[in-house]
Amino acid sequence: MSRLGLRAIALGYLAALLVAPVALIFYRAFEHGFGAAWSAVTTPDALHALQLTLLMVVVAVPLNTVFGVACALLLARRRFPGKALIDALIDLPFAVSPVVVGLALILVYGRTGWLGQALADNGIRVIFSTPGMIIATIFVSLPFVVREVVPVLEELGVEQEEAARTLGASQWQVLTRVTLPSIRWGVGYGVVLTTARAVGEFGAVAVVSGRLAGQTETLTLLVESRFERFDLVGAYAASVVLALISLAVLVGMTLIQRRKVA
Amino acid sequence: MIVLLPLAAVVARSTDGGLDGFWRAVSSREAVAALRLTLIVSVAVVAINAVMGTLIAWVLVRDEFPGKRVVSAVIDLPFALPTIVAGVTLLALYGPKSPLGVNIAFTRVGVALALLFVTLPFVVRAVQPVLLALDREMEEAASSLGASPLTTFRRIVLPNLRPAIVAGASLAFARALGEFGSVVLISGNVPFKTEVAAVFIYAQIGNDNVTGAAAVSVVLLALSLLLLASVSRLGKRRHDE
Amino acid sequence: MAIEVRGVSKRFGDFAALSDVSLTIPGGSLTALLGPSGSGKSTLLRVIAGLERPDAGSVSIEGRDVTRAPARQRNVGFVFQHYAAFKHMTVRENVAFGLRVRKRPKAEIAKRVDELLALVHLTGWADRYPSQLSGGQRQRMALARALAVQPSVLLLDEPFGALDARVRAELRDWLRRLHERIHVTTVFVTHDQHEAMEVAEQIAVMREGRIEQVGAPAEVYDRPANEFVMGFVGPVTRLGERALRPHDLRLSREPVKGARQAIVERVVPLGFEVRVELRAEGGEGLSAQLTRSQAAALGVGEGDLVWVRAADEEATRRSGRGSDVSATPQASAASPTRG
């Protein structure tokens, strides 16, 4: 088959599967004018959903970044018993269905869950409220930073760190002056992916949130509930907000990728 | 604490009614139908994307055309786009109000389309770096020895890409097995017809049949773990070579 | 004539890799394409093989014009610098590849592969994978693979470039003996003049996409067409206006008519030979090469004063003969070239 033929097939597939559908919702959202779309994303429910989504990001991303970098340093620089097991377990959230994640959290933190009684006695409500959604978000976006940083650390090798140590740098100085600056683009890439997942998570959050409009509804849940209520313009408008965030993520990924290569 | 404990709770809960209860939950007609549909559609989708993903990776590495970098960035769209939005966009183009006059809503084709969307990047991203690092001289050697372009691809390029294709396909398969967000709107959750495993679990949670949900979850978990283990084995083997 | 290259040009973007190159390679010969990197030697080899298509000119192999034919229809054997081993195949499968794509009968393939593995001394390694072989073994495997299809010409692109010095010397020697046995027209690319001198029957020296000179090793060394060739195929030193080989300088302890005075700066023993680094009156540096016994007879050390002249002036100026030491007992016929 000719080069042009292969190119046409590849681009045609991408266009039909990815580009055309996403382009169409931009068109559909603004079909009835910019005003209709704007008012659909500025209703109290929509604004609350946006806030809640941002809250997920603000809590989950920093936590997962710190955990991810620490975990990556451990996996790439230390030997300890059970390392292979941890290495395998880190990927688990990628392999588990988001719905199963939600179910699992209910079974631990829910009313009848393992910790449910203890939490209820202290007046803490996890499931059907924000803490549960945050835990769900952390769960599903946990591996990104680790997975991006470990290969960077491995490729970096230990020579620069050893050089710094022979020059009299303390453990902390080695970390902050040598290691962290060298992995910053890897971390950045992981953070972007974590953010994308935190913004976009649907299944796990849907299960643990209880879907209370104006209370535990994130943007993704809002899209679904509007779609189910046949509020198509509202669903498309909220989708466009999420799609714009994704496009920003894509741009970020591309820019960082270029830096990483350079 | 965040990962293992909850998953352990799922396993524990699935056997609340003893192994008998677990077996009864997993072998209920609806659960079997959901699991079977999930497996069949996932296999088909992964097969398609293994071929298309390899082809796209080939075009991205070996072809030159204006806008290639944009195309390369677009590959990651399914990773960046919330799954529910993926479902909404696919329905907008191919659903009841399709400008193309097709309607895949509430059909298995629709489910497959959603899974094709979300699993597209895996094989592309696994194959791309391997293809980039592939020794072009091997192909030149083959052609100097008399091999046609097709033979060179089949006998030289493909065997070298196979581990990457298998690794990417396994990840795509794990993703397809558990996919929920992009499928939930398109499938319409018609039991025995378009209800996949994740949607089934979601419905059971809603019906307070937590044991049933947990049992099917355990089946999904086991499959995912198996895949994960085989991928990391594969990765290690490649590392050793 | 086994290979006839006529007026071949090839550009890569702005870079002219080959400019109007013509070259004839006699059947059964062993030819080296010698030149610095970027001289176009590899490109020329790849054009002959059909791995690059020339922008202009023609290539014929054994009388057949193959300019438009793809590599797979040229029946050439090509050996790459980095072996291009098929990593996913065993040694046996690698060697058999060309025969298998030609759909030869299984028995014939097995027999031919066994012969070739014996020829390259890899009989015991047939079922190993390339990753289990050393560099030298991989290159021998690549050679067997190229020879398996009984190519009309064998082309080798820097075949020993990736190997360490000792293995390289072994393989050079082995390649020459192999060529004596099978007599296939062979062209190899190298940037190492020693390698070209030692292995080839004919050398084509290239620079900046052109062929500067073609000739037997002794001819290229002793009668270089220009100063570039002279400098590339061997060491050069300057005596006033003249460029000549360091072993063509004569040193003496006593004043000689027409010779120049110089101070010995350093005496460097190089095993069998000794290099004497000198500074002449005008301040210019030059170096002479003597055998060890000559150096001992001359008995110079750092700081000594000597008189230097070219060997070919010896015949006309006979003064001071008794203390004269000649670097080449039979004065070579180096034709003086001017820069």
Closest CB to B56: pick one of A14, A100, A253.
A14
Contact C150, C73 (CB under 8 A): no
pTM of the model: 0.81
CB C250 within 8 A of CB C320: no
pLDDT of the residue at B160: 93
The complex scores an ipTM of 0.88
How far apart CA C191 and CA C35 sit, in angstroms, is 5
CB nearest to A239's CB, from B63, B85, B177: B85
User: What percent of chain B is predicted at pLDDT more than 90?
Assistant: 54
Structure tokens at C199: 């292995």
pLDDT for residue C241: 80
* pLDDT tens per residue across span A132-156: 899 999 999 989 999 899 989 988 8
- Rounded to an integer, what is the distance from CA B176 to the centroid of its chain? 4
pLDDT at C324: 43
C338 pLDDT exceeds 50? no
Q: Which residues of B touch A98 (CB under 8 A)?
A: 178, 180-181, 198
B19-240 — its CATH code?
1.10.3720.10
Q: What is the mean pLDDT of chain C?
A: 87
Q: Do A227 and B185 touch (CB under 8 A)?
A: yes
Angstrom distance (rounded) from CA C234 to CA C205: 12
User: Which pLDDT does position C54 carry in this prediction?
Assistant: 95
Q: Which DSSP helix (H) or strand (E) runs through B92?
A: helix B83-94
Q: Does A235 touch chain B (CB under 8 A)?
A: yes
Percent of chain C with pLDDT over 90: 58
Q: How far apart are CA C54 and CA C40, in angstroms?
A: 12
What integer pLDDT is reported at residue C322 of this predicted model?
41
Task: List the domain boundaries for chain B.
Answer: 19-240
| C32-77 pLDDT tens trace | 999 999 999 999 999 999 999 999 999 999 999 999 999 999 999 9
Separation in Å, CA of A76 to nearest CA in chain B: 15
The arithmetic mean of pLDDT across residues B119-137, rounded, is: 92
Taking CB atoms and an 8 Å limit, are B141 and C101 in contact across chains? no
Q: Is B146 within 8 Å of C78 when comparing Cβ atoms?
A: no
Query: What is the least distance, in Å, from the CA of C21 to any CA of chain B?
Result: 22
CB contacts of A201 in chain B (<8 Å) are 82
pLDDT per residue as tens digits for the range C19-28: 999 999 999 9
pLDDT, position C327: 43
Half-sphere exposure of residue A134: CA atoms within 13 angstroms, side-chain side: 17
Which of A11-15, A148-152, A185-189, C333-337 has the least mean pLDDT? Answer: C333-337
* Contact in structure between C43 and C18 (CB atoms under 8 Å): yes
pLDDT digits (tens, 9 = 90+) for B26-44: 888 889 999 999 999 999 9
Could you say which DSSP state residue A108 is in? H
Contacts of C276 (CB under 8 A, 6+ apart): C251, C264, C266, C267, C268, C287, C288, C289, C290, C295, C300
If DSSP states are collapsed to H, E and C, what string results for chain C? Answer: CCEEEEEEEEEECCEEEEEEEEEEECCCCEEEEECCCCCCHHHHHHHHHCCCCCCEEEEEECCEECCCCCHHHCCEEEECCCCCCCCCCCHHHHHHHHHHHCCCCHHHHHHHHHHHHHHCCCHHHCCCCHHHCCHHHHHHHHHHHHHHCCCCEEEEECCCCCCCHHHHHHHHHHHHHHHHHHCCEEEEEECCHHHHHHHCCEEEEEECCEEEEEECHHHHHHCCCCHHHHHHHCCCEEECCEEECHHHEEEECCCCCCCEEEEEEEEEEECCEEEEEEEECCCCEEEEEEEHHHHHHHCCCCCCEEEEEEHHHCCCCCCCHHHCECCCCCCCCCCCEEC
pLDDT tens column, A42-82 = 898 899 999 999 999 999 999 999 999 999 998 988 888 88
Among B58, B84, B198, the residue with its CB nearest the CB of A6 is B58
* HSE-up (13 A, CA, CB side) for residue C149: 30
- Nearest chain A alpha carbon to B70: A254
- pLDDT, tens only, C161-213: 878 888 888 888 888 988 988 889 999 999 999 899 999 999 999 999 999 99
Q: Report yes or no: A251 at the B interface, CB cutoff 8 Å.
A: yes
pLDDT by residue (tens digit) across C101-122?
999 999 999 999 999 999 899 9
Nearest to A103 among B59, B73, B205 (CB): B205
Q: Tens digit of pLDDT for each residue in B139-176?
A: 999 999 999 999 999 999 999 999 999 989 998 999 99
- Phi and psi (nearest 5°) for C338? -110, 140
Q: Considering only A111-115, B33-37, C49-53, C136-140, which range has the smallest mean pLDDT?
A: A111-115
